[in-house]
Amino acid sequence: MLREATHGPQYLRVLERRPSHDDLVDHLVRSTALRRGEASRVVLDVLAYFDETTEEFVRRRHRELQAGGAVNATIFERIAAELPHRAVAPPGLSLRQLRRIVYG
């Protein structure tokens, strides 16, 4: 079972709703080399990715970039540049708002 600590709260939201995407899973099995379990996991990953809130995205990217050795000034500017390119673009956030999401 997927754990929040490993995959984030968006996976739990997707699992709780449990919509049926059997037609999409079937399509992936037919059109790729994926087995059914792998195709189901891909669908879950995509749904969870698009279900991530702005705040979750900002916190996740901050952790990832910080783990990669980036400093906060660079991190927040990069996140600000990435946000408008999300599948559903969130409202514009200032660097201060980004910092508040991470640090409260």
Give domain limits for the chain: 4-51, 54-103
Residue 13: pLDDT band (50, 70, 90) is low
Higher pLDDT: 88 or 58? It is 58
Q: How far apart are CA 22 and CA 41, in angstroms?
A: 12
- Could you report the per-residue pLDDT of 25-67, keeping only the tens digit for each? 999 999 999 999 999 999 988 888 888 889 999 999 999 999 9
Total-model pTM:
0.60
How are the residues of the chain apportioned to helix, strand and coil, as percentages rounded to the nearest 5? Answer: 75, 0, 25
Determine which of 21-25, 45-49, 99-103 has the lowest per-residue pLDDT on average. Answer: 45-49
Task: Report CA 32 to chain centroid distance, whole Å.
Answer: 23
Tokens of residue 70, six digits: 């980036």
